[in-house]
Amino acid sequence: MKAQEQLYRLFSNKLFAVCLKYSSSYQQAEDNLQDAFLTIFKKISQYQDKGSFEGWMKRIVINTALQRYRKQTLFEIIREDHLKEPELEIDEEMIPVDYLLKIIQELPDRYRQVFNMYVLDGYSHKEISEILKISIGTSKSNLARARNILKEKIEATHNLTKARSV
Amino acid sequence: MEEKKYIDRLYQEKFKDFEASPREEIWQKISVKLQQEKKEKSILLPFWKRTAGVAAILSLFIFLGEWLNPPGQTPIVNNESEKIDNPKSETSLTTVDVPKISTPTESTNGNELVQAEEIRQVRRDFISDISSISALGISEYSSFIEAITTPLPKEEKAPELNRDPVLSLTEDTMKPLFEEEQSTSEGVRVIVSTHAGPIYYGNLKRGSFLDPKFNNNSTESEVTYSYGFNVAYPLTEKLKIRSGLSKVTMSHNTNNIAVYSGGNPVAIANVVFEGNSVPKVEAAMNKKEPPVTGISYDRSPLSTSSMGELNQRIGYIEIPVELEYSLLEKKININIIGGASTLFLDENTISLSSASTPTTTGEANNLREVSFSTNIGLGFDYDLSEKIKLNLEPMFKYQLNTFDAASGNNQPYYLGIYTGFSYKF
Residue-wise pLDDT for B254-298, tens only, equals 887 777 665 566 667 777 777 666 666 666 655 444 444 444 445
- Chain B residues within an 8 Å CB radius of A144: 4
Positive or negative CA dihedral for B117, B123, B126, B131? negative
Residue A6: pLDDT band (50, 70, 90) is: very high
Q: Compute chain A's Rg from CA coordinates.
A: 18
- Give chain B's contact residues with A (Cβ, < 8 Å): 3-4, 6-8, 10-15, 18-23, 26-27, 29-31, 33-35, 158, 161, 163, 165, 167, 169, 173-174, 176-178, 180-182, 185
Confidence check: pLDDT of B399 > 70: yes
Q: Nearest CB to A150: which of B7, B165, B169?
A: B7
DSSP string, chain A: -HHHHHHHHHHHHHHHHHHHHHSSSHHHHHHHHHHHHHHHHHHGGG--S-S-HHHHHHHHHHHHHHHHHHT-----PPPGGGGSPP-----GGG--HHHHHHHHHHS-HHHHHHHIIIIIS---HHHHHHHHT--HHHHHHHHHHHHHHHHHHHHHHHHHHHHHH-
Residue B366, SS3?
A: coil
Does the beta-carbon distance from B3 to A3 stay under 8 Å? Answer: no
Closest C-alpha among B312, B11, B395, B248 to residue A153 = B11
Distance, CA of A12 to CA of A15 (rounded, Å): 5
Which pLDDT score, from 0 to 100, does residue B319 have? 93
Running DSSP on this structure, what letter comes out for residue B155? Answer: P
Does the beta-carbon distance from A34 to B26 stay under 8 Å? Answer: yes
List, as ranges, residues 98-157 from A with C-beta within 8 Å of B: 100-101, 104, 115, 119-120, 144, 147, 150-151, 154
Does the beta-carbon distance from B18 to A34 stay under 8 Å? Answer: no
Confidence check: pLDDT of B21 > 90: yes
Confidence check: pLDDT of A133 > 60: yes
- Chain A residues within an 8 Å CB radius of B185: 45
Q: CA of B153, closest CA in chain A: separation in Å?
A: 15
Q: Who's near A74: CB < 8 A, 6+ residues apart?
A: A109, A110
Of B107-111, B202-206, B252-256, least confident by mean pLDDT is: B107-111
**Residue A95 forms contact with B (CB below 8 Å):** yes
In terms of phi and psi (left: phi > 0; alpha: psi -120 to 50; beta: otherwise), the region of B301 is: beta
Q: Nearest CB to A13: which of B20, B23, B34?
A: B20
Does the beta-carbon distance from B173 to A9 stay under 8 Å? Answer: no
Q: CA of A163, closest CA in chain B: separation in Å?
A: 22
What mean pLDDT do residues B90-108 have? 41
For the question of whether the overall pTM of this predicted structure is more than 0.80, the answer is no
Does the beta-carbon distance from A38 to B167 stay under 8 Å? Answer: no
Confidence check: pLDDT of A42 > 70: yes
Which pLDDT score, from 0 to 100, does residue B101 have? 37
Q: CA of A69, closest CA in chain B: separation in Å?
A: 18
CA B279-B281-B287 angle, 5° bins = 145
Which pLDDT score, from 0 to 100, does residue A87 have? 53
Alpha-helical segments (H) within B69-102: 87-91
Q: Nearest CB to A119: which of B11, B180, B181?
A: B11
What mean pLDDT do residues A9-18 have? 94
**Residue A49 forms contact with B (CB below 8 Å):** no
Label residue B100 exposed, middle or buried (CB < 10 Å: 0-12, 13-18, 19+).
exposed
Label residue B125 exposed, middle or buried (CB < 10 Å: 0-12, 13-18, 19+).
exposed
Nearest CA in chain A to B26: A34
- ipTM field: 0.84
Residue type at position A101: L
Residue B411, SS3?
A: coil
- Chain A residues within an 8 Å CB radius of B31: 1, 4-5
List, as ranges, residues 51-70 from A with C-beta within 8 Å of B: 53
In terms of phi and psi (left: phi > 0; alpha: psi -120 to 50; beta: otherwise), the region of B248 is: beta
CB B334 within 8 A of CB B327: yes
Neighbours of B54 (CB within 10 A): 15
Does the beta-carbon distance from B178 to A45 stay under 8 Å? Answer: yes
Q: Nearest CB to B34: which of A10, A20, A41?
A: A41
Q: Per residue in B343-382, pLDDT tens? A: 999 898 888 887 766 777 888 888 888 999 999 999 999 8
DSSP H or E segment with residue B118: helix B103-149
Distance, CA of B324 to CA of B232 (rounded, Å): 9
Q: Per residue in B42-51, pLDDT tens? A: 776 666 666 6
Q: Nearest CB to B178: which of A37, A44, A154?
A: A44
Mean pLDDT for all residues in chain B: 71
Does the beta-carbon distance from A119 to B8 stay under 8 Å? Answer: yes
Q: Per residue in B163-204, pLDDT tens? A: 444 444 455 555 555 554 444 444 557 889 999 999 888 888
